[in-house]
Amino acid sequence: MKKVIVTGGCGFIGSHLVDELLNKKVKVVVLDNLVSGRISNLNLKNKNLKFIKCDISKYNKKFSNYFKNIDTVFHLAALADIVPSINNPQLYFSTNVQGTLNILKASQNNSIKKIVYAASASCYGIPKKFPTTENSLISLQYPYALTKKLGEDLLIHWSKVYKMNVTSLRLFNVFGTRSRTSGAYGAVFGVFLAQKINNKPLTIVGNGKQTRDFVYVTDVAKAFYKAGKLKKNGDIINIGSGVETSVNEIAKVISKKKIFIPKRPGEPDRSKANIKKAKSILKWKPKIKVIDGIKIMLNNLDYWKNAPVWNKKTISVATKVWFKFLK
């Protein structure tokens, strides 16, 4: 691995992957439209780093030329969040599906040796078996999950038909520094940390006993790096901690102030990844425990100082369509 592309490289996970690659002396080209990513997440002084602002949903010769002399592509660029995907599924299809197709076309045209795709564990919907394996039932609950799974389907199809070497990493609940601080109501840590900075109560969904499989972002970056070096083709691999942590446990570490808001439909009560494939195929396992990851974030609270501060009323408004369309 000498020169790579990271799509979404200014974003949360992407920027940490860029750091990991640069630390390994790999030359990196970042493609990002800066809709949710921050240019400040990159060290542009590094001579091995090049940033190109572009929209992956638009394919042309110029776009394809970005992939010349590249050996590996890490495709992380995507629109996230549930509610916006319900409100505007067309935009999500344009970015997450058409954008992925464009990445595959450009990679194929330039004989890319390896593509690693950031898939989502949201494809499992509300799992019935724990820990959840890669061959578990697919149950798509909302357009975001659908578009990420369709992107993965395209990737695997290109592998079979065009013999491209690909790996798909199904990410569970990634957390850590540089997580998004603007836009729609979303991931629990961003919500909680903004509330803590502003001395507001944490808004806990349901009774807070629901669990998630949280995995720290730098561990995830290392998983991507290992996948990029993987010669084996066509694997779909869960990336999580293999440990369940409740929302109440997280809240206890962050703040004593809390209130409870209604449980939302379409969300699982439990989440726990089976990471045997990650351990056996990637030779990877997470190193940072949830409690230690939270401490790192609390030591970097300023990152969330301009994040929206959600309360019971604004969350109710923001999630209105959630209750309307999801059962």
- The full set of domain ranges for the chain reads 3-174+214-239, 180-213+244-268+288-325
Residue by residue, what is the 3-state secondary structure of 86-105? HHCHHHHHHHHHHHHHHHHH
> DSSP class of residue 139?
-
Q: Quote the pLDDT of residue 207.
A: 95
Q: Quote the pLDDT of residue 322.
A: 81
Q: Quote the pLDDT of residue 266.
A: 80
Catalytic annotation, residues:
144
Neighbouring C-alpha atoms within 13 Å toward the C-beta of 160: 7
Please say whether the dihedral angle defined by the alpha carbons of residues 108, 112, 114 and 117, taken in this order, is positive or negative. Answer: negative
Q: Quote the pLDDT of residue 187.
A: 81
Q: Quote the pLDDT of residue 326.
A: 81
Q: Quote the pLDDT of residue 180.
A: 77
Q: Quote the pLDDT of residue 182.
A: 66
CA 63 to chain centre: 23
For 24, residues 6+ apart whose C-beta sits below 8 A from its C-beta are 1, 225
Q: Is the link from the previous residue into 131 a cis peptide, with omega within 30 of 0?
A: yes
Q: Quote the pLDDT of residue 143.
A: 96
CATH of domain 180-213+244-268+288-325: 3.90.25.10
pLDDT in tens, 132-150: 999 999 999 999 999 999 9
Below-70 pLDDT ranges, the chain: 182-186, 327
Q: Is the link from the previous residue into 262 a cis peptide, with omega within 30 of 0?
A: no
Q: Quote the pLDDT of residue 290.
A: 96
Q: Quote the pLDDT of residue 183.
A: 63
pTM of the complete model beyond 0.75 = yes
CA dist 108 and 104 (Å) reads 6
Q: Which helix (H) or strand (E) holds 245?
A: strand 245-246
Q: Which CATH number fits domain 3-174+214-239: 3.30.450.20, 3.40.50.10490, 3.40.605.10, 3.40.50.720?
A: 3.40.50.720
Angle, alpha carbons 206-210-216 (nearest 5°): 125
